[in-house]
Amino acid sequence: MRKVRNMSTWIFTMGMVTGFLSLHLLFSSMVSVEKVNNSVQGIKPGTGHQDPPAGERDNKTGNDTRILCWIMTGPKNLETRTKHVKETWAKRCDKVLFMSSVKTDFPTVELNVSEGRDNLYWKTIRALQYIHQHHLDEADWFLKADDDTFVVLENLHHILSRHDPEKPFYLGRRFMPFIRQGYMSGGAGYVLSKEALRRFVKGFSTGECTHFSSIEDMALGKCLETMKVEPADSRDEHGRQTFHPYPPDYYIVRQPSRPRPWYLIYDHYAPVEGPGCCSDFVISFHYIYAVQQYVLEYLTYHLRPYGYKYRFKPDEKAQVNKTENINLL
């Protein structure tokens, strides 16, 4: 009798364990399926659209708008500034060269010039000579930028597509003083056509251009004027600026009507303060350090209002004629 009793108890216990375990397994498998679903969705990489790689750009920009970016930097800025430029917009240049006084694995090009503001024009001259000697055929346009400039390459391509790189042109933020035809702000970045680059280098080899000043942008402007390179208008179809020597808040913030602040004094075309200052298709801002490089990268290439129909649609209908406003001080 005892044996049978133990047997049935044993069977009963087995039954209980079976019942318990099966239901427990059922519950936990339901929870883990949900968890797996949630985590699978989370693992998917960002759907933010991909930038088309440089080689496969929109046909609208044409195939003779290869841009070589040469970025003025120095050994002490590589970690704090240049690194972030390299991580963001410099990737979109067809070719990029980091110009320094020291050769490194960054990689940087060694120009035989020491750092410092007094040597800025020497550095520029050597940089352009270097590019002319080694990289002339690799690009159609040559963009100068600093390690604290932020550039939107696509917008530069867009503006350059209406110009011929075999003609002597250069573009940037046009300033009016000192040089009759004006000159382009160094800080905002400027672009030389291939022909303009040839003429600059030729100017120094024939002695028509000399190092007469260390003020790089103005001196370069003088040389280009001598070599009959024309300054082009870089503003958009509504007359709004694309190159900016200062960060966006200097321009965009609404101001009461007032005389030109000091940072707008040199402008060749009458500057506008507030939302009308700047084109939607901005090309550059300056004094953009580390964090701000990524902030602008995020705002330009990532953050957007879903479904929004932008106001400025230059490809549609007739363009507004922009008038030249040359203000005399």
Partner 1 sequence: MLFLQLFIFSLVQHLYATMLSEGGSFIKGVVLGGLFCLVVSLLSSFSSVTESNTDDHHHHHVKAASKDELKHFSDGQLLELNNRIQVYCIIMVQPKNLVYWATTLDTWSKHCDKPVFYTSEASKALEAIDLNEKDDWSRLRKALTHAYKNAGDLRWFFLAQPTTFAIIENLKYLVLTKDPEEPFYLGRAVKSGELEYVEYDGGIVLSYEALKRLVQVFQDEEKCPEKGRALWKLSEDKQLAVCLKYTGVFAENGEDTNGKGLFNTKSVDSLIQDSMRDNPTDVVEGCCSDLAVTFNGMSPNQMQVMMFGVYRLRPYGHDFHDLLTFYPPEGSDND
Interface of this chain with partner 1, residues 298 to 317, rule: CB under 8 A = 298-312
| Edge-to-edge order in the sheet of strand 190-193 | 109-110, 95-100, 67-72, 141-146, 190-193, 169-171, 230-231
Would you count residue 263 as binding partner 1 (CB under 8 A)?
A: no
58 or 138, CB closer to partner 1?
A: 58
Place of tokens 């055929």: 137
Site for partner 1 in 140-169 (CB under 8 A): 152-155, 157-158
Q: How many C-beta atoms surround the C-beta of residue 214 within 10 A?
A: 15
Would you count residue 88 as binding partner 1 (CB under 8 A)?
A: yes
- E strands, 9-75, where? 67-72
Q: How many C-beta atoms surround the C-beta of residue 142 within 10 A?
A: 29
Least distance in Å: CB of 113 to partner 1? 31
Site for partner 1 in 60-79 (CB under 8 A): 60-61
Would you count residue 256 as binding partner 1 (CB under 8 A)?
A: no
209 or 296, CB closer to partner 1?
A: 296
Would you count residue 249 as binding partner 1 (CB under 8 A)?
A: yes
60 or 117, CB closer to partner 1?
A: 60
Can you spell out the DSSP letters for 229-268? PEEPP---TTS-B-B-SS-THHHHS---S-SPPGGGTTBS
Least distance in Å: CB of 246 to partner 1? 12
What is the contact mask toward partner 1 in residues 8 to 27, using x (rule: CB under 8 A)?
Answer: xx-xxxxxxxxxxxxxx--x
Residue-level length of the chain:
329
134 or 302, CB closer to partner 1?
A: 302
Least distance in Å: CB of 298 to partner 1? 5
Q: How many C-beta atoms surround the C-beta of residue 192 within 10 A?
A: 27
Q: Distance between alpha carbon 164 and the CA centroid of its chain, in Å? A: 22
Would you count residue 255 as binding partner 1 (CB under 8 A)?
A: no
207 or 256, CB closer to partner 1?
A: 256
